[in-house]
Structure 1
Amino acid sequence: MGQSNLAVNAPQKKKAREINVFVLLLIVLLVAAVSTYVLPSGEYTRQDVNGRSVVVPDTYKAIEASPVSLMGLIGSIHTGMVEASSIIFFVLIIGGTFGILTATGTIEAFISTLSRKLANQEKWLIPIMMLFFALGGALMGMAEETLAYLGIMIPLAIALGFDVMTGTAIVLIGASVGFTTAVMNPFTVGIAQGIAQLPPFSGMGYRIVLFVVMYLVSVFFVYRYAMKVKRDRGYGFFADGKYDKAETANVKLETRHKIVLGCFLLNFVVLAYGVVKFEWFITEIAGLFTLLGIVIAIVGKLSPGETVNAFMKGASGLISGALIIGVARAIVVILTNGHVIDTILYNASSAIHHLPPSLSVVGMYLLQSVIHLIVPSGSGQAALTMPIMAPLADLVGVTRQTAVLCFSMADGIGNIIFPTSGYFMAGLAIAGIPWSRWAKWILPLILTQYAIGLVAVIVAQLIGYGPF
């Protein structure tokens, strides 16, 4: 994908007090290993119900201690990656396919063309472009990939009488809406439902409703601010005139780009049909995305070498996230081999076991929100928490689908305010917006979104959001 001058010339600032996710996970891994020496060992009886392993309530019993040795600790990372290999390679294939899509120039051409058409109808820029990024987040899990478009949206927003904050918000908040509600997000709901042994992308209807609600609330927040800036430019933020001379990209949407977009949309129609009709899972969905990559490479007139390079570039951009899944899984390996994971489940369930399920689900939602601050990777958080949260949901009378919803909602909202979110902080650096300025501005929206999420998980539990 061609990079705008804005993205190329953006200063490469070091992030203050940057927290490395791998370091955090390794610390947690070490703590998990120590816990096998401190916590009592115990286990629940499990039984298969319709092909899924379910904890049998009231069967917890203490067993002989089995602390993890040093070699067990060292080897757990490899074991975790092996156990999570299907999810890891699924993530890499999705990233590779998106790399091919990017290399065809289709997304850049689409945004550039749409931006020009809206040049004299600026009031439609915010809802339309936020919908585009929201759909990308909901269907493809777009997050880091959106950074390249800041170089288009910020100058366009300024040219239309808005400011840097507006252009940045269209991209980051828009994608976050989709990533949070996760209609078909393969990196959050796709992984979490796989771990929870739920049908892939099941419960989509309720998430679509949440998508609409979150989208409308977010658009209203950004639109109201943008109109204030348009009436009084002194109200806005312009990064010290950094983008006064920036120009938007001028890429034409050619016939091949339109066909690529058609293939991209058709892919999701086929995916939805296959999941519902034939119960496709990770292997089939990964195969479908591989086929999509080949088709759009042919339509986009990429040579075999260019296609492979684009795939590798797209996949390489997600290697960090993929490896996080394996390291996070290693934590579960340690807790399982040390027979303390059921002890944690027992104590956690005991703390909320006598509460009504509607209050239990509040605790699960708040817990996921706190964990997200420490582990900002959606796929990593899913791999770390869902093996515990799914059986915990069984114990306290919460549906597993609701447990997944607690995770996906809590995971997505924090992505655009927590300083531990890497791509978010990179976006602010490109835009030239201080984190403190952004956090103060967006806090009302974040609190509103958390409140919507809280209501959503309570309602989900009350209606028996399932299938189970």
Structure 2
Amino acid sequence: MTQSHVDSYSPPVSLQDKGQSPYLLLFIILVLAAIATWIIPAGVYDYETRDGIKFAVKGSLHAVAQSGVYPLEIFTAIAKGMVKQASIIFLILFTGGVLAVIEKTGAIATALNSLSHSTKLSDKWLVLIFAAIFGLLGTTGVVVNAVVAFVPIGLLIARSMGLPPILGASLVYLTCAAGFNVAILNPATTGLTQHLAQLPLFSGMLLRSITCLLFIITAAAYLIWSIRRTRQLGFLRPTQETSGKDVLNVTGRHKWILAITVLALILFIAGTIQFHWGTNEMSAMFILLTIIVGLIGRLSGSEIANTFLTGCSKLVKGAFIVGMAAAISLVLQQGNVLDPIVGSLSNLLEPVPIHAATLGMFISAALIHFGISSGSGESALLIPIFSPLGDNLGLTRQVMVQAVLLGEGIVNCMNPTSGVLMAVLATAGVPYGKWLRFVAPVIAIWFVICVIMLLIGVAINWGPF
């Protein structure tokens, strides 16, 4: 496989656009929310501020005058939602920009291409290396939708190892999903959800990191077991001779780019802990990283700028979904019906043990994700409801955020409305039914891990609040 094969790959348009548009679904919900402002009796909670964070006062819900939202206000709410979530929208766009520049330098693709031609590594070590690389790329948000572009490398390795394509696709996609599903440093998922819940950016990292590690270990162990079982069925590793012209050498420049990218992430973690950095600082770091990586990669100023903007454009749909979903919350708040909805849910769940309520949020988020395949859109829709609900139930916002994130994540690898999953399966030539049977044991174990970790979060009153 040559460099151009990896860098230029993109899923067919029919695969990218497959399924119902989340914008259409969110707009329908937005219209229904506006209608609800004329039907649901209006009411508001009293709020108190503690350490700069607003909390609803339990039992303070009281009726106010009905203030239904008019049709024209539906559309102004969309614009207001975009403005309200501007900082996180631009962070998502800048994430796409910096990743496009890193990809343009060929550092990641070249390193993986070189690894794919190795004849000295055993099955076990190849799986562990891929799990470490793609787990890290997934959990930091470096490779998300772009994971499809790396599937051909997994297929190449599977061929060289004498393994079926489903294992080749899994080497890349399943390990990446294991990291992404418990995103430690992904601004578009964890960063956004915590921002909406008014939590410090990337707080609660220890328990989340343990959960992510368990996800990655599960995926790696299952792949090692699957390969071993496949060998027993007669799929032997053939003797291969590496063609020198197909191997891309990892240069010192590539190593510098990868090292600086990792260093930037480490510095940001330190900054969030020591100086409480947030979305603006991370956006600034991405711009600086773009310039440094581009210069090391010997890109011209125009190439850096154009590649950055092209990368931003690829995430416009996902970024704007955040504003669209925020419009729903604004309409409900404007009509003073969000608090009554929360109050009704609180009354319904109050007799339920807090552990069961947490798992209810987790399962609800998972089911909703089948309809809204955008994690950022779903978070923007659910968090304004779940935050005060959790406050009323005595649930910390950190646990509530994790319940939503894990609910979204557990569905990703089996969601038929996911364009990324469908593109991966089409690239590998794997039927959806076959994939579902293959991945079911992993998802089942992940589900158990999610339940255990959420219950631990409730037990330790996982915070900071």
Q: Alignment partner of 1:47: what SS?
A: strand
Partner of 2:167: 166
Q: CA deviation at 1:260?
A: 0.3
CA–CA distance in 2 between the matches of 1:460 and 1:192?
17
TM-score, length of structure 2 as denominator length: 0.94
Q: CA deviation at 1:275?
A: 0.4
Give a deviation string over 1:352-405, Cα, whole Å, max 9, x none.
Answer: 112221122111111111121111112112211112212211110111100111
Partner of 2:240: none
CA–CA distance in 2 between the matches of 1:329 and 1:70?
17
CA–CA distance in 1 between the matches of 2:98 and 2:10?
27
Give the direction of change, closer, same or farther, for the CA distance of 1:233–1:88 in structure 2 (3 Å limit). farther
- 1:146 and 1:172 in contact (8 A); partners too: yes
- 1:141 and 1:182 in contact (8 A); partners too: no
Give a deviation string over 1:246-298, Cα, whole Å, max 9, x none.
Answer: 99952210010000011001101110111001000100111011111111111
Partner of 1:284: 281
Q: CA deviation at 1:11?
A: 7.0
Partner of 1:257: 254
Partner of 1:309: 306
Give the direction of change, closer, same or farther, for the CA distance of 1:275–1:353 in structure 2 (3 Å limit). same
- 2:15 and 2:422 in contact (8 A); partners too: no
Matches within 5 A, 1:20-99: 20-99=21-100
- 2:11 and 2:148 in contact (8 A); partners too: no
Partner of 1:146: 147
- 1:410 and 1:450 in contact (8 A); partners too: no
Q: CA deviation at 1:232?
A: 2.1
How many residues matched? 458
Letter in 2 for 1:425: M
Which contiguous aligned blocks of 4+ residues in structure 1 show a shift greater than 4 angstroms? 5-17, 246-249
Letter in 2 for 1:396: L
- 1:194 and 1:200 in contact (8 A); partners too: yes
CA–CA distance in 2 between the matches of 1:349 and 1:161?
55
Are 2:294 and 1:297 aligned?
Answer: yes
- 2:184 and 2:208 in contact (8 A); partners too: yes
Q: CA deviation at 1:329?
A: 0.8
Partner of 1:394: 391
Letter in 1 for 2:355: S
Q: CA deviation at 1:421?
A: 1.3
Partner of 1:405: 402
Q: CA RMSD in A?
A: 2.2
Partner of 2:113: 112
Partner of 1:465: 462
Q: Alignment partner of 2:48: what SS?
A: strand
Give the direction of change, closer, same or farther, for the CA distance of 1:342–1:248 in structure 2 (3 Å limit). farther
Partner of 2:157: 156
Deviates more, 1:1-10 or 1:171-180: 1-10
Q: Alignment partner of 1:252: what SS?
A: coil
TM-score, length of structure 1 as denominator length: 0.93
Letter in 1 for 2:74: L
Give the direction of change, closer, same or farther, for the CA distance of 1:178–1:14 in structure 2 (3 Å limit). closer
CA–CA distance in 1 between the matches of 2:11 and 2:196?
40
Gaps of 5+ in 1: 236-245
CA–CA distance in 2 between the matches of 1:2 and 1:65?
62
Q: CA deviation at 1:161?
A: 1.9
CA–CA distance in 2 between the matches of 1:77 and 1:9?
30
Give a deviation string over 1:77-128, Cα, whole Å, max 9, x none.
Answer: 1111111111111100111001110000000011112223355423211121
Letter in 1 for 2:57: V
Give a deviation string over 1:434-462, Cα, whole Å, max 9, x none.
Answer: 11221122122212212211121111101
Matches within 5 A, 1:173-188: 173-188=174-189
CA–CA distance in 1 between the matches of 2:79 and 2:109?
39
Give the direction of change, closer, same or farther, for the CA distance of 1:201–1:8 in structure 2 (3 Å limit). closer
Give a deviation string over 1:157-212, Cα, whole Å, max 9, x none.
Answer: 12112211111111111111111111112111111111111111111011111112
Deviates more, 1:59-68 or 1:445-454: 445-454
- 2:93 and 2:319 in contact (8 A); partners too: yes
Letter in 1 for 2:56: V
Letter in 2 for 1:360: A
CA–CA distance in 1 between the matches of 2:267 and 2:163?
39
CA–CA distance in 1 between the matches of 2:117 and 2:18?
40
Are 2:445 and 1:444 aligned?
Answer: no
Q: Alignment partner of 1:264: what SS?
A: helix
Instruction: Give percent identity, aligned residues only.
Output: 31
Letter in 2 for 1:437: K
- 1:3 and 1:148 in contact (8 A); partners too: no
- 2:257 and 2:296 in contact (8 A); partners too: yes
Give the direction of change, closer, same or farther, for the CA distance of 1:13–1:330 in structure 2 (3 Å limit). closer
Are 2:215 and 1:218 aligned?
Answer: no
Q: Alignment partner of 2:261: what SS?
A: helix
Are 2:376 and 1:379 aligned?
Answer: yes
Partner of 1:195: 196
Deviates more, 1:153-162 or 1:7-16: 7-16
Matches within 5 A, 1:203-214: 203-214=204-215
Partner of 1:102: 103
Q: Alignment partner of 1:4: what SS?
A: helix
Give the direction of change, closer, same or farther, for the CA distance of 1:341–1:299 in structure 2 (3 Å limit). same
Partner of 1:420: 417
- 2:163 and 2:230 in contact (8 A); partners too: yes
